[in-house]
Amino acid sequence: MEVIIPTDRGIKKIATCNIVRIEAHSNYSTLYFDNAARTLQLGGNEDGDFMIDNYGALIISNGSLTVRGRVKLNKASRFNMTVGNLVIDGNTGNTITSLQNGLFLFEAAPQMQSFAFTGGTLQIVDPPIGVASQAISCPYNFGINSTLILGNGVSVTASNSPGGFGGSLFPPVIGRLVLNAGTTAGNRQLTISKPLSVKGSFEIRTGSNVLLQSELRVTQ
């Protein structure tokens, strides 16, 4: 398994790991992205079980982070995203290489020290493959200037999760929402199973389906 990190001279350094753990210390260990020209990808195109396990601080103020697996924000950790892109895909279409059933692609634990998603883009490429998994488990609001993209318009990898991209653990408030599932088949729908408020625009692109089981409000 490889992590590819571009350097200032354009040379790629290769590191072997499956989990990047940000440890908790008195002054907090921090994984910090602040350069638009910099990207970090955990896992290759055939991987879906990599993980960022945050006990310290994950700060994204520019650049791009792609995780072929999941991002877990633990109790007492910090998350701050203002600009940049966080892309998560833990579904390869194969249960062996995908996210384990019962886990979440983007998980923010209750009692974090701070959670601030005020800008930038979170993209979930595929809904999770597991029947007991959900794409997002987050009790915190997403900011009005944040963007959540579900799908990429190309991938049609199926999911066994009945909520598709959505479910009962979705954040109560999000900013701009883009649904670009690529197909209505294979549980790639967005299921709204608890009240959801979208504070920006809601754009539904090709091959997308929204299943309303609860109230959806879109205000601009």
- Grade residue 26 by pLDDT with cuts at 50, 70 and 90: low
Q: Is the pLDDT of residue 146 over 80?
A: yes
Alpha-carbon distance 154 to 151, whole Å? Answer: 8
As given in the structure block, the two tokens for residue 43 are: 């896992």
pLDDT of amino acid 44: 85
pLDDT of amino acid 214: 96
pLDDT for 44-84, tens place per residue?
888 999 999 999 999 999 999 999 999 999 999 999 999 99
Q: Residues 106-123: what's their mean pLDDT?
A: 97
pLDDT, the chain, mean: 90
Q: Which residue has the higher pLDDT, 115 or 22?
A: 115
Alpha-carbon distance 151 to 145, whole Å? Answer: 19
Helix (H, G, I), strand (E, B) or coil at 151: coil
pLDDT of amino acid 8: 46
pLDDT of amino acid 211: 96
Q: Is the pLDDT of residue 7 over 50?
A: no
Alpha-carbon distance 14 to 56, whole Å? Answer: 24
**Which percentage of the chain shows pLDDT scores above 90?**
78
Q: Which helix (H) or strand (E) holds 15?
A: strand 12-15
Q: Give the pTM.
A: 0.91
- Grade residue 40 by pLDDT with cuts at 50, 70 and 90: confident
Q: Which residues of 65-93 are buried (b: 16+ CB within 10 A; e: fewer)?
A: bbbbbbbbbbeebbbbbbbbbbbbbbbbb
